[in-house]
Structure 1
Amino acid sequence: MTSEAEIYDLKGLNCPLPVLKARKRLAGMAPGSLLWLETTDPLAVIDIPAFCTENGHRLVETQPQSGGHRFLVERGA
């Protein structure tokens, strides 16, 4: 499942840019599409899950990475 996911590099961006850019990118994707969001913003661990909940997307997986986090998001309907 994760092999079909696109990767969106949001490293170096601070709140609220990772969420704003993720929103725009996901809006252009088909429902059910998978997108890895790679961030270095420490607030992303709060912001990305909240964004998913508020916008009907599913947070599939979260992974810590060197200097940041990685989030696998499934676009909602």
Structure 2
Amino acid sequence: MADDAIEIYDLKGLNCPLPVLKAKKRLAGMQPGHRIWLETTDPLAVIDIPAFCNEQAHRLIETAAADGCHRFLVERGA
């Protein structure tokens, strides 16, 4: 799947625990193996999103800082 075809889920402006809760709900509706970019301004997301992925068996593919936010490329687990 091309990088520009991956959906971006804007979670900017939301504070803990909302980015993880909303990401969990969005990922639950996706097919295993599909990817999504999560964008958040919550400083705790750099801890929370990787921990969430680990607990829920999703794959954290990439993290990046961009335009005042953090981006997380997550692949839906089985």
The interval holding the TM-score normalised by the smaller chain is: over 0.9
| TM-score calculated relative to the size of structure 1 | 0.95
The equivalences for 1:1-77 within 5 A come to: 1=1, 2-77=3-78
Q: Determine the C-alpha separation between the residues in 2 that align with 1:55 and 1:22.
A: 11
User: How many Å apart are 1:41 and its aligned residue?
Assistant: 0.3
Q: Determine the C-alpha separation between the residues in 1 that align with 2:60 and 2:5.
A: 16
Q: Give unpaired runs (5+ residues) of structure 1.
A: none
CA contact (8 A) 1:4 1:34 kept: no
Q: Deviations over 1:9-57 (max 9, x none)?
A: 0000000000000000000000001000000000000000000000000
| TM-score calculated relative to the size of structure 2 | 0.94
Runs of 4+ in 1 over 6 A off after TM superposition: none
Number of equivalent positions: 77
Q: Give unpaired runs (5+ residues) of structure 2.
A: none
RMSD (Å), alpha carbons: 0.8
User: How many Å apart are 1:62 and its aligned residue?
Assistant: 0.4
Identity among equivalent positions (%) equals: 77
